[in-house]
């Protein structure tokens, strides 16, 4: 369903320079959309057009298929449904305390005092800043200010959230937290639009990308499609995303499977095709091209999981019964990614899961879960890029636990399952303290035929 | 980060006490101090208020004394002049300075001590307010005192943007300093002028941006102020009444005392 649409939109600054020209976009509900372009390519102006702050010179903007009207009552409706977070948080946060600022939007909507309080409480809990509600904004860090600005918009419960350069001036951990937040809101049903000149972010995060240059739209599509086109990127003054660049270089050297577009490091890893060769002693009668079952290996011979069932294809037979084989490994005691819902948190349970599940790697997503872990002295191995790192650990046969809550659970679950489906490498994925729980993959019992290695 | 009184007030545990109670204590202290005829009552008030600020309000003692030093210095010089040049009656001390006789008389000294104690008492009362009540708590008080809404809204916005512009001014100043903008007097004047004009333009632009961002959150010309309800606890009430009664008793019994 198309939620936001523009038709031959044009906007000209008072001095006559065109800021946006002939723009046709269709944004689908529930998507994560990124506008990518250099500074001054017209992204910010477009955003102001999208929430009715600026009135287009030509063309129209449609919300749910209805063209914008620019009288104050319609504008109010539009602005309630389409929230915008500005690039500089100081432009947006103007009230003397965090609470007052977040309450500004709901109060303007004419809510009762109780309802305003409920909205503010929920929004601040979501961004993990409730305990700072009585602080003045100048006592907050850049990342916290950004989260307050986002909470101020979330408190109005908009259908579409537009963020102008949401990660500018943030440190990596702060940026990661904002991305986690955006993913959570998206999981809860919000459509999210961001502008950025960070191609890595747009490539990795978004569902759909628009490329802008010199106030025009010059390309659009899924990130995989758009960032493949070198010419387009050159025209827009952008470069290829790093993971994609690395992948192309590896692929060109024949070390990765072709025609992929890995977005994350785990995806990149799964495209690799290393040659796994080994000398073995073979019984007489075995020919080149035969398949051998080498049985179960462990220790130094198992590189991807603690135990591996290994089949081998004979490539070359040497004199004296020795042969070179290419190994095909299948992990038996695979690793896994478990998720723990911290909304139903109990320290003893977490401790028990870590102990009995032989978990060696613990991560936390979201401010709330991080704070919980910190309070209770749960050692966190990772707090940023949690899903990716956990998948990488699971691939190496390690068992991981991710502490998280709310919409981030489903997001993490989806991401990990997608990876399992796509890569064909199986490991346990699930939410531990949800109904049904989650069992480790059964350990296989195979009768190893013994070969001398 | 800038280091201002408001920051101390924000972290003070007394911040969460009912504002009206604090205001009552301060006004009581000011009135009792000013109307007292002996220096003992104001000194008692100064002592109590300092104790409250430092012990209960957790203001750092060193910082508090330093803060008190500035106005106390002024008061002290004034008081010396009063002691020498006013009053009549018994001569307590006299000496000659460069051929000019200087005399301290009993009445003069009495008056000087009274003035000193009153100003100390008043200062301690006001510092108590300044160090335990941040500006953000006072907006509710302003609202309750029926000041025009727009004035309060303006003051809220001004309060917030003081810090934004302070940061801006500091970073501009820094940028000027590293390029030797303040290396001599003429350049300093020049740089300061540029700083002021830049700040003016920036604040103008900030106003535009502010209006834009407020509009996009459905601004309809009214900012609602949310008050936090802070009931007065019984212990606080008890402590305050004890303090009030003690002060009043002291006020009554030292009415006609002269200490010189």
With bands split at pLDDT 50, 70 and 90, how would you rate the model's confidence at A452?
very low
Q: Is the pLDDT of residue A442 over 50?
A: no
pLDDT in tens, A382-428: 888 888 888 888 877 788 899 888 888 888 888 888 888 877 677 77
pLDDT at B200: 93
Closest Cβ–Cβ partner in B10, B156, B220 for A108: B220
With bands split at pLDDT 50, 70 and 90, how would you rate the model's confidence at A102?
very high
pLDDT in tens, A262-283: 888 888 888 887 667 778 887 7
Mean pLDDT, rounded, for B43-63: 91
Helix (H, G, I), strand (E, B) or coil at B222: coil
pLDDT at A451: 41
pLDDT in tens, A255-264: 787 788 888 8
pLDDT at B222: 79
Cβ burial B197-209 (10 Å sphere, 16+ → b, else e): eebeeeeeebeee
Q: Which residues contact A87 (CB under 8 A, 6 or more apart)?
A: A44, A164, A165, A168
**Nearest chain B Cα to A99, which residue?**
B226
Q: Which of A145-154, A198-207, A426-435, B159-168 has the lowest mean pLDDT?
A: A426-435
Alpha carbons A295 and B68: distance in angstroms, whole number: 84
Closest Cβ–Cβ partner in A95, A103, A152 for B160: A95
**How open is the CA angle B198-B201-B205, to the nearest 5 degrees?**
135
The fold of A336-431 is Cobalt-precorrin-4 Transmethylase; domain 1 (3.40.1010)
With bands split at pLDDT 50, 70 and 90, how would you rate the model's confidence at A337?
confident
Do the Cβ atoms of A153 and B159 come within 8 Å? no
pLDDT at A439: 58
- What's the ipTM? 0.76
The fold of A2-240 is Rossmann fold (3.40.50)
- Give the residue range(s) of CATH 3.40.50.300 domains in chain A: 2-240
Name which of A276, A278, A282 is nearest A452 in CA terms. A282
With bands split at pLDDT 50, 70 and 90, how would you rate the model's confidence at A85?
very high
Q: Is the pLDDT of residue A362 over 80?
A: yes
Mean pLDDT, rounded, for B76-88: 83
Mean pLDDT, rounded, for A27-49: 90
**Nearest chain A Cα to B207, which residue?**
A91
**Nearest chain B Cα to A77, which residue?**
B218
Closest Cβ–Cβ partner in A51, A86, A136 for B10: A136
Q: Is the pLDDT of residue A227 over 80?
A: yes
> Can you give the pTM of this predicted structure?
0.74
- State the smallest CA–CA distance between residue B173 and chain A in angstroms: 19
With bands split at pLDDT 50, 70 and 90, how would you rate the model's confidence at B49?
very high
Alpha carbons B152 and B158: distance in angstroms, whole number: 10
Closest Cβ–Cβ partner in B206, B209, B217 for A108: B217
Closest Cβ–Cβ partner in B159, B210, B212 for A96: B159
pLDDT at A450: 38
3-state secondary structure A39-80: CCCCHHHHHHHHCCCCCCCEEEEEECCEECCCCHHHHHHHHH
pLDDT at B1: 40
Measured between beta carbons, which residues in chain B are less than 8 angstroms from residue A96? 135-136, 139, 156, 159-160
pLDDT at A336: 83
- Give the residue range(s) of CATH 3.40.1010 domains in chain A: 336-431
Do the Cβ atoms of A116 and B226 come within 8 Å? yes
pLDDT at A444: 40
Mean pLDDT, rounded, for A426-432: 80
Do the Cβ atoms of A91 and B214 come within 8 Å? no
Do the Cβ atoms of B217 and A97 come within 8 Å? no
pLDDT at A446: 39
pLDDT at A449: 38
With bands split at pLDDT 50, 70 and 90, how would you rate the model's confidence at A351?
confident
pLDDT at B245: 92
Q: At what angle do helices B185-215 and B149-178 cross, to 10 degrees?
A: 140
Q: Is the pLDDT of residue A435 over 70?
A: no
Q: Is the pLDDT of residue A61 over 90?
A: yes
Do the Cβ atoms of B164 and A95 come within 8 Å? no
Mean pLDDT, rounded, for A353-362: 84
Mean pLDDT, rounded, for A345-352: 85
Alpha carbons A238 and A211: distance in angstroms, whole number: 9
Q: Which of A201-205, B18-22, B93-97, B155-159 has the lowest mean pLDDT?
A: B93-97
Q: Is the pLDDT of residue B36 over 60?
A: yes
Q: Is the pLDDT of residue A320 over 60?
A: yes
Q: Is the pLDDT of residue A443 over 70?
A: no
Q: Is the pLDDT of residue B47 over 90?
A: yes
**Nearest chain B Cα to A137, which residue?**
B160
- State the smallest CA–CA distance between residue B226 and chain A in angstroms: 7
Do the Cβ atoms of A104 and B228 come within 8 Å? no
Do the Cβ atoms of B209 and A91 come within 8 Å? yes
Backbone angles phi, psi at A379, to 5 degrees: -75, 125
Question: Average per-residue pLDDT in chain A?
Answer: 85
């Amino acid at each position: 369903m198309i939620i936001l649409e523009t038709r031959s939109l044009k906007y000209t600054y008072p001095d006559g320079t065109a800021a946006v020209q002939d723009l046709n976009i269709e944004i689908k509900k529930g998507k994560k959309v990124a506008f990518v372009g250099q500074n001054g390519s017209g992204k910010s102006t477009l955003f102001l057009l999208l929430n009715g702050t600026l009135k287009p010179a030509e063309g129209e903007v449609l919300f749910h298929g209805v063209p914008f009207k620019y009288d104050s009552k319609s504008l109010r409706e539009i602005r309630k449904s389409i929230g915008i977070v500005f690039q500089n948080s100081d432009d947006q946060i103007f009230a003397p305390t965090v609470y007052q600022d977040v309450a500004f939007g709901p109060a303007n909507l004419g809510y009762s005092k109780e309802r305003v309080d409920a909205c503010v409480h929920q929004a601040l809990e979501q961004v993990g800043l409730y305990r700072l509600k009585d602080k003045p904004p100048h006592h907050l860090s850049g990342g916290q200010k950004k989260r307050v600005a986002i909470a101020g918009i979330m408190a109005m419960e908009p259908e579409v959230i537009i963020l102008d350069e949401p990660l500018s001036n943030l440190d990596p951990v702060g940026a990661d937290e904002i991305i986690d937040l955006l993913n959570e809101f998206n999981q809860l049903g919000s459509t999210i639009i961001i502008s950025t000149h960070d191609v890595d972010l747009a490539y990795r995060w978004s569902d759909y990308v628009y490329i802008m240059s010199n106030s025009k739209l010059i390309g659009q599509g899924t990130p995989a499609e758009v960032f493949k086109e070198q010419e387009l990127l050159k025209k827009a003054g952008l470069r290829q995303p790093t993971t994609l660049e690395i992948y192309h270089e590896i692929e060109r050297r024949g070390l990765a499977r072709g025609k992929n577009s890995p977005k994350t490091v785990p995806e990149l890893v799964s495209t690799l095709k290393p040659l796994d060769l080994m000398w073995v002693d073979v019984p007489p009668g075995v020919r080149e091209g035969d398949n051998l079952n080498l049985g179960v290996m462990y220790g130094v011979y198992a590189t991807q999981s603690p135990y591996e069932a290994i089949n081998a294809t004979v490539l070359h037979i040497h004199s004296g019964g020795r042969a070179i084989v290419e190994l095909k490994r299948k992990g038996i005691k695979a690793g896994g990614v478990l998720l723990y819902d911290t909304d139903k948190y109990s320290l003893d349970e977490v401790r028990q899961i870590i102990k009995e599940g032989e978990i060696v790697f613990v991560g936390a997503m979201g401010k709330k879960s991080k704070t919980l872990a910190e309070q209770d002295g749960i050692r966190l191995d990772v707090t940023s890029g949690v899903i990716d790192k956990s998948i990488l650990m699971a691939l190496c046969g390690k068992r991981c636990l991710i502490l998280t809550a709310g919409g981030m659970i489903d997001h993490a679950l989806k991401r990990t399952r997608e990876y399992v489906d796509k890569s064909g490498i199986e490991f346990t994925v699930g939410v531990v303290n949800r109904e049904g729980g989650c069992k480790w993959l059964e350990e296989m019992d195979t009768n190893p035929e013994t070969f001398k290695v | 980060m800038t280091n201002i009184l408001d920051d101390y007030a924000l972290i003070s545990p007394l911040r969460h006490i009912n504002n009206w109670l604090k205001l009552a204590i301060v006004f009581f202290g000011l009135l009792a101090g000013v109307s007292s005829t002996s220096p003992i009552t104001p000194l008692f008030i100064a002592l109590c208020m300092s104790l409250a600020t430092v012990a209960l309000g957790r203001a750092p003692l060193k910082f508090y004394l330093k803060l008190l030093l500035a106005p106390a210095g002024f008061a002290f010089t004034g008081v010396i002049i009063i002691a020498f040049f006013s009053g009549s009656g018994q001569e307590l001390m006299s000496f000659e300075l460069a051929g000019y006789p200087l005399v301290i008389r009993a009445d003069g000294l009495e008056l000087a001590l009274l003035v000193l104690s009153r100003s100390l008492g008043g200062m301690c009362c006001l510092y108590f307010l300044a160090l335990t009540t941040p500006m953000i708590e006072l907006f509710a008080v302003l609202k309750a005192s029926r000041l025009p809404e727009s004035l309060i809204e303006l003051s809220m916005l001004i309060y917030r943007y003081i810090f934004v512009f302070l940061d801006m001014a500091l970073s501009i100043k820094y940028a000027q300093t590293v390029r030797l903008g303040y290396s001599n007097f003429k350049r300093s004047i020049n740089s300061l002028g540029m700083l002021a004009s830049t700040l003016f333009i920036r604040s103008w632009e900030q106003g535009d941006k502010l209006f834009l961002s407020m509009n996009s959150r459905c601004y309809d010309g009214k900012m609602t102020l949310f008050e936090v309800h802070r009931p007065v606890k019984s212990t606080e009430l008890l402590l305050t009444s004890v303090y009030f009664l003690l002060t009043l008793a002291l006020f009554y019994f030292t009415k006609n005392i002269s200490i010189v």
